[in-house]
């Protein structure tokens, strides 16, 4: 018996404005269903409480997912002061309360300044970090003690980088912040640490991702908008997809002949006079043809593929 068709071979990237209350995987599955896509993946989970930019890769674009997982991110967040919560956000139980001291813009700025640049973080205990293949949040809900979780989280201590940390507004018990940060940054932990430095504790009451790698708020579409377009058919949906190369917009493009492109698709290297480069886009180019075939690097006069797309190039006459 032949295999059943499990969806369309559609490739591209769409930036969803994730709504609150859904997991990133639930959003992914809805997008995959709407596109009837054979393959799909997202590029970095947002907590159910969080909203904002969630790029979804379809088809061959899933080969760029890891690059986007490792890219810089940007967020707007509200840090509510005077409480520490079990999960670091509004979904957790209150574990400690403290009086918020009198604050001033200068006092807040002095604290924020200490969190810019390289910063050590211990990830939150309620996180997707894994122990023996199981996420910590799952172990926490099944009775792992706080001390045990803290010991595991401590082992995952890492250095992250805060490129920008801006105070947009503040009230006596809340800070409105914008953050641009490196991969692996937990905004819940950043907010908790800022609260500790202010002497009163804090938790994330709002989190909205404004950018994920090269993708930003201006490109976002809601699930409701996507569903409305889906009613118009596959062609209308496909027009919304961003090309795969938008995942690596600043990488140099290397033009190959169709013959060289076929060699690379067969796992061979191609000689070049171009300078060494760790990250390049690979394009097969001929009259009337310009097709992305993958990404790679240039090393010692050789172009080497790192990730190839499943494409068929036309035969040269």
Annotated catalytic sites, by residue? 47
Angle, helices 223-230 vs 24-35, to 10°: value is: 10
End-to-end CA distance of the chain: 38
Angstrom distance (rounded) from CA 283 to CA 293: 6
Q: In a 10 Å sphere around its CB, with 0-12 CB exposed, 13-18 middle and 19+ buried, how is residue 40 labelled?
A: buried
- Residue 204 has, within 13 A of its CA and on its CB side, a CA count of 26
Which single residue is written with the structure tokens 């097709």? 291
Residue 251 neighbours by CB under 8 Å, 6+ apart: 279, 280, 281, 295
- The vertex-208 CA angle with 239 and 175, nearest 5°, equals 155
Residue 159 neighbours by CB under 8 Å, 6+ apart: 118, 119, 120, 121
Angstrom distance (rounded) from CA 245 to CA 222: 23
Among left, alpha and beta (phi > 0; psi -120 to 50; other), residue 92 is beta
Residue 18 neighbours by CB under 8 Å, 6+ apart: 24, 27, 46, 50, 51, 52, 53, 54, 209
| Token pair in block for residue 314 | 């036309």
């Amino acid at each position: 018996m032949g295999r059943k068709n499990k969806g369309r071979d559609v490739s591209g990237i769409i930036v969803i404005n994730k709504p609150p209350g859904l997991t990133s995987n639930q959003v992914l599955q809805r997008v995959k269903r709407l596109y009837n896509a054979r393959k799909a993946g997202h590029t970095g989970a947002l907590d159910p409480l969080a909203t904002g930019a969630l790029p979804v890769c379809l088809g061959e674009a899933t080969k760029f997912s890891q690059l986007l997982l490792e890219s810089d991110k940007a967020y707007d967040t509200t840090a509510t002061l005077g409480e520490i919560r079990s999960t670091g956000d509004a979904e957790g139980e209150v574990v400690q309360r403290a009086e918020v001291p009198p604050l001033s813009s200068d006092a807040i700025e002095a604290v924020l300044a200490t969190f810019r640049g390289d910063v050590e973080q211990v990830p939150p205990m309620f996180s997707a970090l894994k122990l023996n293949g199981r996420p910590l949040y799952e172990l926490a809900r099944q009775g792992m003690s706080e001390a045990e979780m803290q010991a595991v989280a401590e082992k995952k201590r890492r250095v992250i980088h805060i490129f920008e940390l801006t105070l947009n507004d503040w009230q006596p018990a809340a800070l409105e912040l914008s953050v641009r940060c490196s991969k692996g940054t937990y905004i819940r932990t950043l907010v908790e640490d800022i609260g500790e430095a202010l002497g009163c504790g804090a938790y994330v009451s709002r989190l909205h991702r404004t950018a994920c790698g090269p993708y930003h708020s201006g490109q976002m579409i809601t699930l409701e908008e996507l569903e409305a377009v889906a009613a118009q058919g596959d062609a209308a949906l496909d027009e919304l997809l961003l090309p795969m190369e938008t995942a690596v917009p600043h990488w140099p493009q290397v033009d190959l002949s169709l013959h060289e492109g076929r060699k690379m698709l067969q796992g061979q290297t191609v000689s070049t006079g171009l300078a060494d480069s760790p990250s390049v886009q690979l394009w097969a180019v001929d009259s009337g043809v310009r097709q992305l075939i993958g990404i790679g690097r240039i090393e010692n006069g050789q172009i080497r593929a790192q990730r190839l797309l499943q494409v068929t190039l036309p035969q040269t006459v």
